[in-house]
């Protein structure tokens, strides 16, 4: 590898920070932090709905 892990790592961190800031500034903001499980008929941390005794 030409570049050391540290150099690549620092570039990734800076790139990530830029992308995160861009996303934050161009997205709608909420007044509270939230999780996907907090809305709808969520049954799992990812927000998947409850599906009881269902099979295809």
Partner 1 sequence: MSKAASMPSAVRRPLSFERGSLALFASLAVLIAGLVSLDTGLTGVGLFILGGLLGAMFLLFQYGFASVWRHALVRGEVMGLAAHFLLIGLCAIVFIPASSLGLSAAGTVAPVTISLFVGAFIFGLGMQLANGCGSGVLYSFGSGSGRMMVALPFFIIGSVLGSFLLPSALGWGSAGPVAIAGGLSDGLRTIVNLAFISVAGFGFYLLGRHRGQQLSKRLVLACLIIAALCWAVFVLSGHPWGVTFGFTLWGAKLAQDIGIPVENFTFWQWPGPARALSHSLLSDISSLMNIGMVLGAAMVAAGSGQLSRQNWPSGQQLVAAAVGGVLMGIGARLSFGCNIGAFLGGIASGSLHGWIWFVVAMTGSWAGIQIRPRFGLEK
Where does this chain bind partner 1 (CB under 8 A)?
A: 1, 4-6, 8-10, 12-14, 17, 19-21, 23-24, 27-40, 42-56
Cα 17 from Cα 26, distance rounded (Å): 14
DSSP structure class, residue 49: B
Cα 20 from Cα 14, distance rounded (Å): 10
Q: Which residues lie across from 42 on neighbouring strands?
A: 49
């Amino acid at each position: 590898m030409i570049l050391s892990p540290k150099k690549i790592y620092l570039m990734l961190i800076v790139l990530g920070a830029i992308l995160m800031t861009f996303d934050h500034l161009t997205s709608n903001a909420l007044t509270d932090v939230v999780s996907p499980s907090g809305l709808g008929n969520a049954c799992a941390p990812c927000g998947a709905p409850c599906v009881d005794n269902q099979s295809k």
